[in-house]
Amino acid sequence: MTCFEARLGCLLPNIEDHLLKMIHYNDEIFALSAKLQVSLPIHKLFTTPLWRKLVYAEDYFFGNGQQLVDETIDKIKDLEKSGKLQDGDYNFLTYLISRPELSYKDVSIITLSLFGDGLNTTVPTLLFTIFCLAKCPRAQEKAYKEISQFLPQEGEITPEIINKLVYLKACVKEAARSRHKKNSTEKRGDWWIPSTSRDLERRPTFFASLKTSQTLSSIRDIVKFDDAKINIGGGYDSTTGIFTAPRNGIYIFSCAIMANGGGEVQFQLNKNDQLYTAGYASKSGYGAQTVNSLVELRTGDKVYIKHRTGLSQNVLGGHYSTFSGYLLSK
């Protein structure tokens, strides 16, 4: 491990329990981060179960990582005091420690960033490179011939050998460029240029709750979620309860309706004037139901929550009933 110049023992037959947990929580960080990325950003307003799991996983992973930092720095100091620290030993950490402008906290953050980023990038880079080679048999054959020519059947792989693998390194760089191009750039004419970092900030997103309970007595009644806590892009109108799409794309909508008292509420999510998904908050005390929908919209299309019956029914306010949505993809 570059950060600590030590093997953690993750590949040993009898791996220690805390290392197994670090591997597990590193996987959790991957999975939970991905889920948060494509789910409604409610965790920015409230502490959700998904967010709590991610925080716990990161606390465990980086907490153990900090122990490794502390142990390695103590080892370096002991070697320095005894005069046994050799040139080239612990290059990374000794360099950071020698910088007067860096505090102990700075050294820890930089080291943990390298530690975590190495785990987060090495495997995806390797997998995507293999995928690209599998999609291009000609390149795969050329890389195979180069590896067969320069890699020994036995013995260590030295920096000198790696420097000879010119075509393989080019494959890794091209795979990284291709992956970066799709995720972080946009095409204008014949050129790929970096996408604006503000794209996520401009992505239409809203979250509104019902502050005051609302009685629905007509099948035409729309639930007016009157407290818009987030309204990026201005697509949601809290006076009408209608979201108007400001741009084309696939949107995610989520609606939670709670019936007041022992009543029930029959409701539906409409795209323009058409039923899209239906919901029913039952009579079991304060019955509630959440409806999630993926909807393809064009600019100007309208989405809203409305009554499904002519019976008089009451939707509970007090921020128990909510309506939210955001643009998932173009």
**Least trusted range by pLDDT, from 36-50, 94-108, 179-193:** 179-193
**How buried is 21 (Cβ within 10 angstroms: 0-12 exposed, 13-18 middle, 19+ buried)?**
middle
- Asked if the model's pLDDT at residue 192 lies above 60, the reply is no
Report CA-CA distances (Å) from 309 to 133, 243, 280, 293. 58, 22, 11, 21
What percentage of residues in the chain have a pLDDT greater than 90?
42
Q: What are 153's two structure tokens?
A: 């059947």
Predicted TM-score (pTM) of this structure:
0.45
Higher local confidence (pLDDT), 154 or 304 = 304
Q: How far apart are CA 314 and CA 329, in angstroms?
A: 35
Q: What is the pLDDT of residues 113-167, one digit of tens each?
A: 877 766 666 667 777 888 889 988 999 999 999 999 998 888 788 878 888 999 9
Listed ranges 97-101, 112-116, 303-307; the one with the highest mean pLDDT: 303-307
Q: How far apart are CA 71 and CA 5, in angstroms?
A: 12
Domains of the chain: 17-194 (1.10.630.10), 199-329 (2.60.120.40)
**Half-sphere exposure at residue 44, Cβ-oriented, CA atoms within 13 angstroms:** 10
What percentage of residues in the chain have a pLDDT greater than 70?
88
